[in-house]
Amino acid sequence: MTTQFIFSSKEQFQKFQSTFRVYARLKNVTSVEHILYNFVRGKDLKRGFTPIKNERKLNADYYRKEWRAYEAALHDLGNSIHGRVGRKDWYEKYGSKVPGVQLPICMKYKDVISEEMWDQIYAKLKEVSK
């Protein structure tokens, strides 16, 4: 995969990277964010994921997919970006009052990634995930 040109400057990318690292140090980064980070850096989206090899685990699930964690995270990223307005509204109305509810990805990176950038990321993710 080649580098994704979502950011118009090196400074924007560095701001995203430092924001990601802050959340990572706080142990508040999800698999969805790891895929986003790989995508923005132009790395293989599966980087950091490992396939399930244990036969018991594969046989216990009717999907029998060794990459199901990656596929679920990729699907969640697409849904999070596509439904970001509704998720943001719901979080502001209800989620911030409920303990344990995670901040939506669009709100975590709102100072770094603009609405237009989210649209670009979503469009490119749809191409990649085909």
Among the listed residues 19, 21, 27, 50, the one whose alpha carbon sits nearest the alpha carbon of residue 102: 27
pTM for the full model? 0.83
Task: Summarize pLDDT for 108-125 with one digit per residue, the tens.
Answer: 998 899 999 999 999 988
Say if CB 123 and CB 8 are below 8 A apart.
no
What is the structure's pLDDT at 55? 77
The two tokens of residue 48 are 């950091």
The two tokens of residue 125 are 């993710």
Cα separation, 14 vs 40, whole angstroms:
11
Q: Where are the domains of the chain?
A: 10-128
Residue 63 binned pLDDT confidence (cut-offs 50, 70, 90) = low
Cα separation, 109 vs 114, whole angstroms:
9
Say if CB 30 and CB 74 are below 8 A apart.
no
Neighbours of 77 (CB within 10 A): 24
